[in-house]
Amino acid sequence: MSICGEFFCDEFKIAGKDLISCSAFLVEKFWFEKNFTILYPKLSVPVVLKWGIDRNKFPSKLFHGRKQYRCDLHYPTMLGNHNITISTYTCACASGYKGNPYLPQLHGCQGISTSLGALFLIIGGWWSYKVIKKRKRMKQREKFFQRNGGLLLQQQLSMAEANVENTKLFNQKELEMATNYFHVNRILGQGGQGTVYKGMLADGRIVAIKKAKVMDEGKLKEFIDEVVILSGINHRNMVKLLGCCLETEVPLLVYEYVPNGTLFQYLSDQNEEFPLTWDMHLRIAAEVAGALFYLHSVASSPIYHRDIKSLNILLDGKHIAKIADFGISRSIAIDQTHLSTLVHGTFGYIDPEYFRSGQSTEKSDVYSFGVVLAVLLTGEKAVSSTRSPATKSLASYIISSMEENILFDILGNKVLKEAKKAEIVLVADLVKRCLYWNGRNRPTMKEVTMELEAIQMSRNASNLEQDYNEEVEFVRSEVYIQSCDTSK
């Protein structure tokens, strides 16, 4: 297919004068004959360009009998003064069709209604796919919700006391949005029970979302019962459980976010910007002990943590201690062995009696707390390969040091510098009693709390007395100086 067009300029006269040179230009014929009398330097004229497909080269077979094309034959046209004439065709899409009429082999003109129909078909198919996929997700969420005890939890919460009314059943979508679909950059920590993510809810609250690894369906009722119990706990030294999501394969637990990391990090890194003083060591120990006493004796039913350690003690913006991962972790774990042999905990903190029997009691938490207290006293890790095999665990290390009367040799410089000898002895004796192998000989968390608070009160009173004496001495010095000046 080709398009032909040639333009020629003939010699002519303007105003009775012969033109020396001739210019070639395109101009509408009738306008030229009527208006053109003199050549202006900046003359603008209308131009008409006609073109078509050479009749001899026109592929008529492609267009014959096809209603979507409209082709017109034009009369022979003379090209310049060469006496060459050709007949041409021009084509367009018929009414109701659109496209390029000169490309019939590449779909050319197509019906508008057909295109719209195809478009609507595609949109309809996509919408149907989205609807089906959404319904499938909804059914899956409903399945997980029922399997994870959602109906039972709703019933329990409706029957519970008013202090659990703020406990929320979160949906999967809002927790996915809060954590950027559980992006790896949102991970706060990982452990044997699951992964904890940092998230921001729609109302702007920062939360910690724990995603468990697996769920033991046989322990479902116990899990629901503990969610209800922990939802009703409102203790300043325990991380608050805000709610859970049961629409996922495994439950998601939503806790308040505690910003300043773990006690383990502070003791390991020796934070220079905010170092923990001996007074803070005593306060943190008393706060953790008080929280465990609350769980054991004050809560509506006893709750045993079973994994007390420095990693599970968090510090908030004011460096107040908060226990995390208490109680509920045992309901999320799954093991194919017999429950009597299932032992939870962290090596170095596990009660040896619990390890032997597989039965956890409140005294198991007392033992683990004794290890935490030993960590605060010595600055040592619960387990260290740098110590001898016999003293690899801190529990064995501190007890043997006390028996050999070399306790002060293993204490940190800060403790030796800031703590009084009597306070160290009292705390070390408490550690020793918490670490007794026979659980019945260990003190209760109530007794531990009372002893630590007594040490704190004694230290505070001593500090006040020291401050008073220093102030009195300062006043005496001022009076003496003034009297000397007066005598002069």
DSSP output for 426-483: HHHHHHHHHT-SSGGGSPPHHHHHHHHHHHHHHHHHHHHHHHHHHHHHHHHHHHHHHH
What is the band of 356 on the pLDDT scale with cuts at 50, 70, 90? confident
The answer to whether position 30 is within a domain reads yes
Domain that holds residue 458: 260-463
The answer to whether position 295 is within a domain reads yes
pLDDT digits (tens, 9 = 90+) for 428-457: 999 999 999 999 999 999 999 999 999 999
321 lies in the same domain as 265: yes
Q: From 257, 284, 305, give the residue that closes a domain.
A: 257
409 lies in the same domain as 356: yes
pLDDT digits (tens, 9 = 90+) for 402-416: 999 999 999 988 899
378 lies in the same domain as 434: yes
Of 108-112, 201-205, 363-367, the least confident: 108-112
420 lies in the same domain as 395: yes
The answer to whether position 272 is within a domain reads yes
316 lies in the same domain as 243: no
pLDDT at 282: 96
Q: Which of 307, 325, 351, 365 is catalytic?
A: 307
pLDDT digits (tens, 9 = 90+) for 89-107: 888 888 878 888 877 666 6
Quote the Cα angle for 210-152-134, to 5°. Answer: 65
37 lies in the same domain as 154: no
Q: Are 419 and 426 in contact (CB under 8 A)?
A: no
pLDDT at 461: 86
Tally the domains of the chain.
Answer: 3
- Is 54 an annotated catalytic residue? no
Nearest to 439 by CA among 369, 381, 384, 375: 369
228 lies in the same domain as 335: no
237 lies in the same domain as 361: no
- pLDDT over threshold 70, residue 5: no
Q: From 238, 257, 276, give the residue that closes a domain.
A: 257
The answer to whether position 74 is within a domain reads yes
What is the band of 315 on the pLDDT scale with cuts at 50, 70, 90? very high
446 lies in the same domain as 303: yes
Both tokens of 482, joined, read 């003034």
The answer to whether position 130 is within a domain reads no
- pLDDT over threshold 60, residue 335: no
Of 20-29, 111-120, 131-140, 304-313, the least confident: 20-29
35 lies in the same domain as 171: no
